[in-house]
Each structure stands twice: as structure tokens, then as C-alpha cells.
Structure 1
Amino acid sequence: MPALMNFFRSQQAQHAFAEVRAGDLLRVLKGRGLEVTAETRERIESCKDMDVLGTWLDRAATASRSEELFADA
């Protein structure tokens, strides 16, 4: 069990989780009909900070433009 827990804490696993969260974020934006520019997509996909991605995902629920995700970033 400790080896499994170490994997989930590893940088490799955290990057994989971030990729999934970024994909979810892009899916929410698309589902809401918001335009996602290449620059916005790159910024989202290159982010590996789960807290930042979580904040952006929360904002995606109410944003009127995808650029609003980065309001204070």
C-alpha cells in the first residue's frame, strides 16, 4: 500500500491528474458554448497546478468568456 500512495504523490501522477482536470475544464467551456482560443487552450493545458486548475474550473461554470478564468492570475 505505501508504494501505491507514493505513486499518487509522485510528480508523474500529479501531472496526469492535471491533464485530466485541464481536459475537464476545456469540456465545460465547450459545453457552455464559450470560445476557446489557441492561447487559452495552451495556458490551460500547460498548467500543472491542481489548485489553479480547480479555481479555473469553478470559474468556468459562470464565466461569460473563457478569458475570465484568468481574472487574477
Structure 2
Amino acid sequence: MGALMNYFRSQHVQHAFAEVRANDLLRFLKARGIEVTAETRERIESCKDMDVLGTWLDRAGTVSRAEELFADG
């Protein structure tokens, strides 16, 4: 069991989960008809922090522009 837990804590797996979350965020924005610039797409895809991606995903339901995801507060 310990080896399995270590696997899920590994940086490689965390980055894979972050990649999935980033893709989900981009899909959600697309489904809402929100345009995503190349710069914004790069920022989302390069983020590996699950908490930050989670915050952006929470905000994605209410923003009118993709850049609003990054607003402080």
C-alpha cells in the first residue's frame, strides 16, 4: 500500500493530474463559448499547481472573459 501511495504523490503523477484538470478547464471555457487566447491557453496548460487550477475551474463558471480567471481575490 505504501508504494501505491508514493506513486500517487510522485511529481510525475501530480503533473498528469494537473494536465487533466487544465484540459477540463479549457473544455469548460470552450463549452461556455469563452474565447481563450494563445497566451491564456499557455498559462493554463503550464500550471502544475492543483489548487490554482481548482480556483480557476471554480471561477470558470462565472467569468465573461478567460483572463478573469487570473484575477486576485
Once the two structures are TM-superposed, the CA of residue 44 in structure 1 deviates from its matched residue by: 0.1
Q: Structure 1 residue 37: deviation in Å? A: 0.3
Runs of 4+ in 1 over 3 A off after TM superposition: none
Q: Percent identity?
A: 84
Q: Return the offset for 1:32.
A: 0.2
User: Normalized against structure 1, the TM-score is what?
Assistant: 0.97
Task: Report the Cα distance in structure 2 between the residues aligned to 1:65 and 1:58, rounded to whole angstroms.
Answer: 14
- 1:48 aligns with 48
Matched residue, 1:34: 34
CA RMSD, Structure 1 to Structure 2 (Å): 1.0
- The alpha-carbon deviation at position 3 of structure 1 amounts to 0.7
Report what 1:62 is aligned to: 62
TM-score (norm 2): 0.97
SS of the counterpart of 1:48? coil
**Number of residue pairs matched by the alignment:** 73
Query: 5+ unaligned residues in a row in structure 1: which ranges?
Result: none
Shift, 1:30, TM fit: 0.2
Aligned to 2:21: 21
The answer for unaligned runs of 5 or more in structure 2 is none
